[in-house]
Every structure is written in structure tokens, then in C-alpha cells.
């Protein structure tokens, strides 16, 4: 693939020669040698390996534009590297495209660690463009053109629908029958599956789902979260517009004015000190000024906090992120620069200080704290934005199909009421977010009307269960340990299954396993059947 107007470009001799990369040269490139150290080897998890096979099967069916849906923390970069190594084993040349400079740098480090020899195309950092694998910035490619390649991978591919640069690359790839595989944790952008005349097809024709967030939590590959919503700005009358993802969201200027108020900023500090003191924390603010005000308030309270934004130099950003990793800094605040590509599993607490209606933006932010780590059993989200009450928990099931641009039918009043009833609400006593009638933290019970609660559009009479004893809880917990040991599940699975059953996290229980009883086995089978039915229903709608 070549630039459309190379005469206007000041290209190095090395780069210009790569633009006429020939088929003969491709055939001369040898497969990558095995790395000489163990660091380069990695083993795919079962769901990752299955995703790779499903992608290859789709390519064999001549589906050339594929989207991989792989949630934050699920290891989509590992899947991408497996695809790169597979392509190189067949003497294919690969381009891996990123939309941010720090993602180019991060991908390059990961490739080097995995033993994947590669070149870089990114502004002044362009080097070794003769390599069979290229990690490239889409902004630089838009200016200079892309050397001839056989496969294109696009990181954070939810940005494609709103990017003329990416669309141009995909259109040219379609004309040349070059496969394009998008990788995204949040492929919910409007128009990703939309048909364009230039392509005689869609930007992406098919989506492969590696795993869902609930599945990853159940397997212990992600952690569940607890959410508190102590306060939120008044968003009534705030303007909305389409963002870069095609979502309707609050406009940046207006959301900043609503959220950046002294009393709200002070409330953020107060509740962090009460609920999350001492934990590694990332904060997402409404704008740069808001983020700096939050940092200043934490520093005034004696808490080590720092701010990063797109104007922070790469050296300073690395230093700041290094300090939060060592514990020298407890809180790092930003607007959106850390929403993609920042991996720090030990980060336990998320402060949501930026109100949003964008599912993509929300899940990207929340994903920063859902990675498992030895220092945490679950993540903590302090929602000072009202987002959880608008969009639900970030660990819910989300869309499993590409948006084709078709207008959705208007929902009925009944549908809206059912959706509203199913959303979590903050306990008026302790601010814990829950869908339960009775708060599992403080025990406060919401007032019911005539002894009946409305749930999902149905009138359901709530039957009070007999309160379990500590012996009951220990027996259930010990049987979960036994099942997890036999099936190779991680500790997070045990905690989440316990919480699903009792409504609280396990605490102060013995770690001794116990043989499952018939009643327990029946309960677990019931869960498997329910999960299978739910999964089957979602696939039936694909």
C-alpha cells in the first residue's frame, strides 16, 4: 500500500524504498527465529487460543475484515502477537497500527519482549522499515502511506468508525484483498459494521468474541468490583453531541463546568480517605483544569497525587507512572490519556469524576482496575459522576454484535421503566451501589410499595430467606474451594461465586476444602444451565 501523493513527502531513502516493497522481497524474508531466552515465550489461555482459531477460520472463509472483541485485561495484545507470529511463519508481512504514540511505544516493547523483530513508523522515531513486522502510528501512515503488507492489525479498533485515516487504510486494503483484523475491548462504536459503497461491504464484516467480562471474572482472569456513589454533579440541561466513537455524550466544555466545583472536588477527597485510603488509584476527570484541581486538593490533604495529560512529555509521563507503580505516588489523575493502553494490575481504586453517557469511554476507564493482582480480591470504584446509575456496572454483559448504522426502534415506556428498574442504585445510607432491595453493606432496606417490588417490568413478591449461619457460609465456601482446586479456577472465582450466593464477600473463613454435597452440585449445575441459556440467547441474536 502506497501513499497517494509521495511527491509532497520528505522521505528518507530507506523509507521511500520500502514503499515499492516487492513480492520477491517478501518471499525472501525468513520466518522469525525462536528467541534465545525464555522471556519471549508465552502461552495463550484457552479462550485466547480459541479466538485465534476462530479468526483463522473466518479468514479461510474469505472474511477479510474482522473485529476481535476481547475485554480490557483479557490479553488482546497476546492474541495479536500470536497472529503476528502465525503470519510470519507463513512469510507474511504484517503492519500493527496504533492511534497514539505511547501505544506505539508500548507495543514495540511488548513485541521486543516476545522476540518479534520489528520496525517502527512513527514521526521522527521511524526506523528499520525494511522489517517484516511494522508497528506504526496511523497519523504517520496517513501522511506517508503504508508499505506493502499482507496483513493489517489495528489496535483500539473501536476508533476506526470515527477516523478518516483508518477508513482510508481499510478501503485500500479491501481493494487489494489484504486482511484487516481489529482488536478492541469495546467494539461498540456506531458504524463499525456499516456498509460503505467504496468497500462494497462493511468496515468490519464479522466479530469474533474472545470472552465476555462475566466469563473472565468467573474464571478468575478479571476481578469483580464494588461501587460507591457518594455524590454526582447536576447534569440537567447539559448539552450532548456525538463523540469520536459515535456515542451521544456530554460536551467537554459543559461537563467541565458541571463537575469542576469546589464542593464536589472536596467530596472526592473525603470519600477516598474514608473508603480507599492508601490504595493505588487512578482518577478520570472532566477536563485538564478539573484534574489539576483534584490533584491539588489531594496534595493539600497530605496525599501524594500527580496529574498527566497529552502535554506531559513522554519522559515525565513515564516518571509519574513509575512513581505510582512503586507506591511513591498514590493517585494519578488524568482526563483520558490513561483510558487506553495503561496496564497496572495493582491499581485497585478508580475515581470516576467525569460524567459520561458513552459506554466505550466508561468501560475503557473501568478496565484500568479490573485486572487481577495479588494485592486485591476485588476493585473499588468511587463514582462521583452518576455513570454507574446511567449505564450499569462495568462488569455487566454488553453488546456482542457490530453496529451497522441502522437506526434502533424507539423503546416503549414499559421498556424504559424496566431498564431503569434493573440499574443499580446508591444506598441512601452508605452510598453502596446495588440492585438488591437490602443493602449488603449496611443493611438498609429500600421502601417498597404495598409489599411489592418492580423488577424488569414484572411484579415480584419478595420472599425473605432464612438468614444463613456462619456454619452455612463456611460449608459453602469450603465446597467452592474444592471445585476451584479440581477445575483450576483462581481465587477470584471462589470469592465471586460466594458473593453471588450470599450477597457479601467472604471474610474470616477457613481455607480448608470440603467434598461438595448433592445439594451443592445441583446448585452449580443450575448456574451452568442458566449461563448456557443466557449465552445461547445472546448468540441467537448475533
CATH number of residue 81's parent domain: 3.40.50.300
The answer to whether 161 and 203 have CB atoms below 8 angstroms apart is yes
Q: In which band, very low, low, confident or very high, does the pLDDT at 225 lie, cut at 50, 70 and 90?
A: very high
Whether 432 maps to a domain, the answer reads no
Same-domain check for residues 190 and 290: no
Residues 198 and 226 in one domain: no
Q: Are residues 175 and 304 in the same domain?
A: no
pLDDT in the model for residue 41:
58
pLDDT at 210 over 70: yes
Picking from 152, 192, 160, the residue whose alpha carbon sits closest to that of residue 176 is 152
Q: What is the mean pLDDT of the segment spanning 508-537? A: 70
Q: Is residue 349 scored above 60 in pLDDT? A: yes
pLDDT at 540 exceeding the cut of 80: no
pTM over 0.75: no
Last residue of a domain, one of 178, 211, 244: 211
User: What is the DSSP secondary structure assignment for residue 227, as one 8-state letter?
Assistant: E
List the single range of 18-27, 123-132, 191-200 with lowest mean pLDDT: 18-27
In a domain, 1, yes or no: no
Same domain, 344 and 223: yes
* Last-in-domain residue among 408, 424, 459: 408
Q: Are residues 267 and 174 in the same domain?
A: no
Same domain, 345 and 475: no
**416 belongs to a structural domain:** no
Q: What percentage of residues in the chain have a pLDDT greater than 90?
A: 54
d(CA 427, CA 389): 12
Averaged over 360-377, what is the pLDDT? Answer: 94
Which of residues 190, 211, 232 is at a domain's end? 211
136 and 235 share one domain: no
Q: Are residues 206 and 236 in the same domain?
A: no
- Distance separating alpha carbons of residues 82 and 197, to the nearest angstrom: 33
In a domain, 181, yes or no: yes
For the chain, what is the domain count? Answer: 3
Identify whether residues 173 and 74 lie together within a single domain.
Answer: yes
User: Which residues, at least 6 apart from 207, have a Cβ–Cβ distance to it below 8 Å?
Assistant: 66, 67, 68, 69, 187, 193, 400, 401, 402, 542
The chain-wide mean pLDDT, for the chain, equals 82
Asked whether residue 173 falls in the same domain as residue 286, the answer is no
Look at residue 197 in the predicted model and tell me its pLDDT.
55
Alpha carbon 182 to chain centroid distance? 14
For the chain, counts of helices (H) and of strands (E) = 18, 21
Please give the average per-residue pLDDT across 6-34, as a whole number: 35
Is 461 part of any domain?
A: no
Is residue 457 assigned to a domain? no
32 or 244, which is more confident:
244
Q: Domain limits at 534?
A: 470-540
Verify that 361 and 489 share a domain, yes or no.
Answer: no
The pLDDT tens digits for 456-503 are: 322 222 222 356 767 778 888 888 888 888 877 877 788 878 877 777
Classify residue 430: in a domain, yes or no: no
Mean pLDDT of 265-294: 96
Is 510 exposed, middle or buried (CB count within 10 Å of its CB: 0-12, 13-18, 19+)? Answer: exposed
Closest CA to 156 of 144, 170, 138: 138
What average pLDDT does this structure show over 434-454?
Answer: 70
Confidence band of 443 (pLDDT split at 50, 70, 90): confident
The answer to whether residues 64 and 177 touch, using CB atoms and an 8 Å cutoff, is yes
Of the listed ranges 9-23, 261-275, 408-422, the one predicted with least confidence:
9-23
Find, among 351, 306, 314, the residue nearest to 330 by Cα. 306
Residues 190 and 252 in one domain: no
pLDDT at 454: 33
DSSP letters spanning 441-475? TT--BPPPBTTEEEETTEEEEPPPPPPPPHHHHHH
426: in domain: no
Give the number of residues written for the chain: 542
Amino acid at each position: 500500500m502506497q501513499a497517494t501523493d509521495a511527491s509532497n513527502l520528505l522521505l528518507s531513502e530507506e523509507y521511500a524504498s520500502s514503499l515499492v516493497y516487492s513480492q520477491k522481497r517478501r518471499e525472501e524474508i525468513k520466518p522469525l527465529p525462536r528467541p534465545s531466552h525464555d522471556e519471549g515465550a508465552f502461552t495463550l489461555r484457552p479462550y485466547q487460543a480459541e479466538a485465534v482459531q476462530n479468526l483463522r477460520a473466518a479468514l479461510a472463509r474469505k472474511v477479510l475484515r474482522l473485529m476481535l472483541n476481547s475485554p480490557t485485561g483479557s490479553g488482546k495484545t497476546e492474541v495479536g502477537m500470536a497472529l503476528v507470529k502465525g503470519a510470519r511463519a507463513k512469510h507474511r508481512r504484517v503492519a500493527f497500527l496504533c492511534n497514539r504514540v505511547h501505544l506505539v511505544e508500548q507495543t514495540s516493547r511488548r513485541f521486543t519482549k516476545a522476540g518479534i523483530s520489528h520496525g517502527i513508523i512513527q514521526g521522527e522515531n521511524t526506523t528499520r522499515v525494511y522489517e517484516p513486522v511494522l508497528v506504526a502510528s496511523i497519523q504517520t501512515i496517513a501522511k506517508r502511506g503504508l508499505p506493502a503488507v499482507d496483513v493489517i492489525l489495528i489496535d483500539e479498533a473501536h476508533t476506526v468508525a470515527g477516523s478518516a485515516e483508518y477508513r482510508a487504510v481499510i478501503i485500500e486494503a479491501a481493494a487489494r484483498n489484504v486482511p484487516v483484523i481489529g482488536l478492541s475491548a469495546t467494539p461498540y462504536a456506531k458504524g463499525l459494521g456499516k456498509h460503505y459503497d467504496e468497500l462494497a461491504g462493511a468496515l468490519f464484516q464479522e466479530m469474533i468474541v474472545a470472552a465476555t467480562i462475566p466469563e473472565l471474572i468467573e474464571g478468575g482472569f478479571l476481578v469483580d468490583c464494588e461501587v460507591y456513589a457518594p455524590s454526582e454533579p447536576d447534569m440537567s440541561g447539559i448539552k450532548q453531541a456525538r463523540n469520536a466513537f459515535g456515542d451521544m455524550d456530554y460536551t467537554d466544555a459543559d461537563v467541565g463546568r458541571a463537575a469542576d466545583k469546589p464542593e464536589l472536588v472536596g467530596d472526592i477527597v473525603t470519600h477516598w480517605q474514608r473508603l480507599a485510603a492508601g490504595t493505588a488509584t487512578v482518577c478520570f476527570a472532566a477536563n485538564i483544569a478539573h484534574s489539576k484541581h483534584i490533584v491539588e486538593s489531594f496534595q493539600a490533604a497530605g496525599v501524594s497525587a500527580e496529574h498527566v495529560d497529552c502535554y506531559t512529555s513522554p519522559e515525565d509521563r513515564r516518571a509519574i507512572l513509575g512513581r505510582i507503580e512503586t507506591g511513591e505516588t498514590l493517585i494519578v489523575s488524568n482526563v483520558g490519556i490513561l483510558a487506553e493502553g495503561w496496564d497496572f494490575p495493582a491499581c485497585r481504586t478508580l475515581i470516576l469524576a467525569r460524567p459520561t453517557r458513552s459506554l466505550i469511554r466508561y468501560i475503557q476507564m473501568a478496565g484500568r482496575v479490573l485486572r487481577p493482582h495479588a494485592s486485591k480480591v476485588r476493585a473499588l470504584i468511587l463514582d462521583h459522576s452518576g455513570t454507574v446509575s446511567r449505564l450499569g456496572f462495568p462488569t455487566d454483559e454488553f453488546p456482542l454484535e457490530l453496529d451497522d448504522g441502522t437506526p434502533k426502534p424507539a423503546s416503549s415506556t414499559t421498556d424504559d421503566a424496566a431498564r431503569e428498574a434493573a440499574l443499580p442504585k446508591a444506598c441512601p445510607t452508605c452510598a453502596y451501589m446495588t440492585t438488591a432491595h437490602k443493602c449488603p453493606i449496611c443493611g438498609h432496606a429500600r421502601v417498597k410499595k404495598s409489599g411489592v417490588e418492580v423488577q424488569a417490568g414484572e411484579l415480584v413478591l419478595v420472599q425473605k430467606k432464612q438468614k444463613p449461619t456462619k456454619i452455612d457460609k463456611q460449608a459453602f465456601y469450603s465446597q467452592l474451594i474444592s471445585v476451584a482446586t479440581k477445575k483450576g479456577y483462581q481465587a477470584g472465582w471462589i470469592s465471586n461465586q460466594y458473593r453471588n450466593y450470599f450477597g457479601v464477600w467472604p471474610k474470616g473463613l477457613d481455607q480448608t476444602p470440603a467434598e461438595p454435597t448433592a445439594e451443592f452440585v445441583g446448585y452449580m449445575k443450575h448456574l451452568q444451565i442458566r449461563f448456557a441459556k443466557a449465552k445461547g440467547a445472546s448468540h441467537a441474536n448475533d
